[in-house]
Structure 1
Amino acid sequence: MKHLNLVLIALALSVILMFILIVGPGTEEPLSDKGKPQAVKTDSANINAETEEPVEEEQPLEYGFNLKYSKYLIEAPYTYTVNGEERCFQFDLMRQKINEAEQTIKKYRLTYIDNYKNRNGMAPKYQGEEIDRFGNERSAAAPAYENINNLEELIYIVDGTLVEILEEDADYTLIKVVGNDTEYSVPSQYIASDDCLEELKKVIIVDRTNQNIATFEKEDGAWNITSYSKATTGKEGKYHQLTPLGFYYAIEKKPKFYYVKDGTDLIEGYAPYAVRFTAGAYTHGVATAYKYAEDGTKIDPGIKEFSSSIGTVPLSHKCVRNYTSHAKFIYDWYEHGKTIVIVIE
């Protein structure tokens, strides 16, 4: 009997072993480091392991070319070399940034922070300082509060910044900066509520990393590149500032933007075909410095088209310097209330 029991046990173990080999060791889902199910990729689609629903892969955003300015073109694949460094036009990233703004305008009214030359009042100091905890400067900015009950804690949002209006009253307007999900309360005098974006039709995009620029226009429901060219952005220095990253309203245009000699109030020259988008930052053409006769008479040597420094390294005070013909194209093409500026890197 003892031997029979041993035989039966051996047979049972053999059956269990055969079942494991045929069926497999188990059907549990693999676990991440945090003990949660990981997404399992299949040949046909990604699966969300928590909902077991297919996850659609993000499709590239479409754009075409309808060039309305065609000087200094760099052919496909839109790459080039500057001082031994590989550069490119980041058209895909540019198109993604346009989509961010476009998704926002479908939900909210878009306008901008309005405090050029502190015309709506100098923002209060941040804990006695001229810059906030993120390094944003007080001048030409609005104070923004995450908690309206704590006015000691604020950040500065610079003039021209594109914002979503969520709620507004006489004292404060609740906003979000385009590209940032944080909500802020801003004193209403700093919000250009009467100059909202009518529609998003034209976009100027500046790339700090590659030192170039492109313009996009929405035509018949599709986004097309209307121009692209090399450009020069701002650098850091005593009298210089980086061209700031972000989303901005294209606020106004001027046939000439006058600039002063560093450290003085003396007008040194002008930059033609300027479009302002934040504080004193413009897209513009090659600057022209005045000359002076012996009797002190100011002489205008005329507009220049070309500068060999364009598209090389950041050099400007804050503006975006273009070949003058491209600046003129932007100046003529720009539509107030329908154009924004995006600075990327």
Structure 2
Amino acid sequence: MRIYFRLSLLIITTTVWSCNRKQATTAIDPAEQQRTDSIELVRKAEEEAKKRPKTAEDMELTKDFSYDKHTLEDTYPYKDTTRHFQLNKIKEKLAFVENFQRTPASYGILQNRKNKNQEAPLVKNYHRNEYKLISDSLGTERYQAAPLYTVGENDAPTIYGRDGALVKLLTSDTLDMIRLEGVSFPGTWETPKRYVKAIGDSVTFHHIAFVDVTNQNILTAERTGDCRWVIRSMNPATSGVHKPPYAHETPLGIFVIQEKKAKMFYLKDGTNTIHGYAPYASRFTNGAYIHGIPTQSVNAGIIEHSWSLGTTPRSHMCVRNASSHAKFVYDWAKTFNALVIVID
């Protein structure tokens, strides 16, 4: 009996000592706990920051020119006034580009150059503009556009989507009607699949040409990291002029470079006669190209520069550049992998 009692006492004593020892070895130093808590708070703050939409203030935009001819300063004189690059507005657009690419998506481009995919049906509410062409309620012309239907309403489209506009595909492009979310324009819509070119879910838009129709200049920017962009060139340009029926303004918006021509031959207004060509042309919407100085003959050599660059709009819809800068854009901005953003 005594042996059993002593053995039980020994077991209890040993257990208490073991528990006390365990408690002693697992106790955390208050300073260490505070450091651990701080690290966790920083981690959570970083995670929340990643979820927060990026703003212009988050964008880091620095200069690292890949093309340095005919370069303009941030602000520069023009006649009796000054012009400038709208860097704050450009940063806002860069933040938009960063944000829409944060979520994985399958991308597509609306295409209907010269109505090659069939003339779009009439929208529900249409009118004729001053060019005597049919437009939707937002002013987008029917010619060369894709019809955008309100989801579930396939009797007639609601608006038109401009050729070259970027979209996210929400349904398979094997269906007759594709549901999509606009990137270049707001809303969720449906359109026949013939108007959409799928470009996949691995494409990234890290090369952007910014065209400013107010200040008549062009800036190219390239992404080098999270919210980090570098300016590759800053040059004068000449955009489209409003001069019906042949000349149109360069449209505002976000477009994808979708075609390139080493020589873009053009017709004399009102005829079927080829008048000349523009070198190194990169098409982004309808008949609008970023290109070099146009010639007055199909046999003429390339012209590098023109006094008209950076002055007033005078193109037919295109964005005219020094020819060497047009070649830089032509080589640098890959088809279906680069954006043109037109601002005012």
For the superposition of Structure 1 and Structure 2, which TM-score range results when normalised by the shorter chain? 0.7 to 0.9
- Where does residue 200 of structure 1 map in the other structure? 205
Write the distance in 2 (CA, Å) between the matches of 1:116 and 1:100. Answer: 27
> Is the counterpart of residue 215 in structure 1 residue 220 in structure 2?
yes
Moved more, 252-261 or 117-126: 117-126
> Is the counterpart of residue 322 in structure 1 residue 321 in structure 2?
yes
Write the distance in 2 (CA, Å) between the matches of 1:151 and 1:86. Answer: 51
Asked whether the equivalents of residues 199 and 337 of structure 1 are also in contact (C-alpha less than 8 Å), the reply is no
Q: What are the Cα deviations for residues 141-177 of structure 1, in whole angstroms up to 9, with x where unaligned?
A: 1000124325335211111111122234512222232
The match for 1:114 among 96, 111, 114 is 111
Write the distance in 2 (CA, Å) between the matches of 1:336 and 1:314. Answer: 26
The number of equivalent residue pairs is: 280
> Is the counterpart of residue 101 in structure 1 residue 97 in structure 2?
yes
Shift of residue 192, structure 1, vs aligned partner: 0.6
> Is the counterpart of residue 260 in structure 1 residue 247 in structure 2?
no
The match for 2:292 among 239, 261, 285 is 285
Distance 1:196 1:114, change over 3 A: farther
Distance 1:289 1:194, change over 3 A: same
Secondary structure in 2 matching 1:167: coil
Write the distance in 2 (CA, Å) between the matches of 1:254 and 1:190. Answer: 22
The match for 1:175 among 180, 186, 192 is 180
Give the letter aligned to residue 72 of structure 1.
Answer: H
The match for 1:274 among 270, 273, 281 is 281
> Is the counterpart of residue 249 in structure 1 residue 248 in structure 2?
no
Asked whether the equivalents of residues 56 and 91 of structure 2 are also in contact (C-alpha less than 8 Å), the reply is no
Give the letter aligned to residue 238 of structure 2.
Answer: T
Asked whether the equivalents of residues 196 and 337 of structure 1 are also in contact (C-alpha less than 8 Å), the reply is no
Q: Please state which structure has a larger fraction of its residues in helix.
A: 2
Write the distance in 2 (CA, Å) between the matches of 1:175 and 1:247. Answer: 16
Asked whether the equivalents of residues 55 and 95 of structure 2 are also in contact (C-alpha less than 8 Å), the reply is no
Write the distance in 2 (CA, Å) between the matches of 1:280 and 1:57. Answer: 33
- TM-score under structure 1 normalisation? 0.76
- TM-score under structure 2 normalisation? 0.76
Asked whether the equivalents of residues 55 and 92 of structure 2 are also in contact (C-alpha less than 8 Å), the reply is no
Write the distance in 2 (CA, Å) between the matches of 1:172 and 1:150. Answer: 9
Asked whether the equivalents of residues 147 and 157 of structure 2 are also in contact (C-alpha less than 8 Å), the reply is no
Asked whether the equivalents of residues 264 and 277 of structure 2 are also in contact (C-alpha less than 8 Å), the reply is yes
Counting only pairs closer than 5 Å after superposition, residues 75-154 of structure 1 correspond to structure 2 as 75=73, 78-107=74-103, 108-126=105-123, 130-149=134-153, 151-154=155-158
Write the distance in 1 (CA, Å) between the matches of 2:274 and 2:138. Answer: 33
How much is the aligned-residue C-alpha RMSD, in angstroms?
A: 2.1
Write the distance in 2 (CA, Å) between the matches of 1:196 and 1:252. Answer: 20
Give the letter aligned to residue 252 of structure 1.
Answer: E
- Where does residue 337 of structure 2 map in the other structure? 338
Write the distance in 2 (CA, Å) between the matches of 1:202 and 1:119. Answer: 28
Shift of residue 305, structure 1, vs aligned partner: 0.9
Q: Percent identity?
A: 39
Q: What are the Cα deviations for residues 110-158 of structure 1, in whole angstroms up to 9, with x where unaligned?
A: 3210111211111012357521122211111100012432533521111
- Where does residue 64 of structure 1 map in the other structure? 62
Asked whether the equivalents of residues 252 and 277 of structure 1 are also in contact (C-alpha less than 8 Å), the reply is yes
Name stretches of at least 5 consecutive residues in structure 2 with no aligned partner: 1-53, 128-133
Distance 1:133 1:150, change over 3 A: same
Distance 1:197 1:99, change over 3 A: farther
Distance 1:256 1:173, change over 3 A: same
Secondary structure in 2 matching 1:145: strand
Write the distance in 2 (CA, Å) between the matches of 1:207 and 1:199. Answer: 23
Moved more, 93-102 or 326-335: 93-102
Secondary structure in 1 matching 2:167: strand
Distance 1:206 1:118, change over 3 A: same
Q: What are the Cα deviations for residues 45-65 of structure 1, in whole angstroms up to 9, with x where unaligned?
A: xxxxxxxxxxx9973421111
The match for 2:159 among 155, 161, 174 is 155
Distance 1:236 1:195, change over 3 A: farther
> Is the counterpart of residue 227 in structure 1 residue 233 in structure 2?
yes
Asked whether the equivalents of residues 56 and 94 of structure 2 are also in contact (C-alpha less than 8 Å), the reply is no
Distance 1:321 1:265, change over 3 A: same
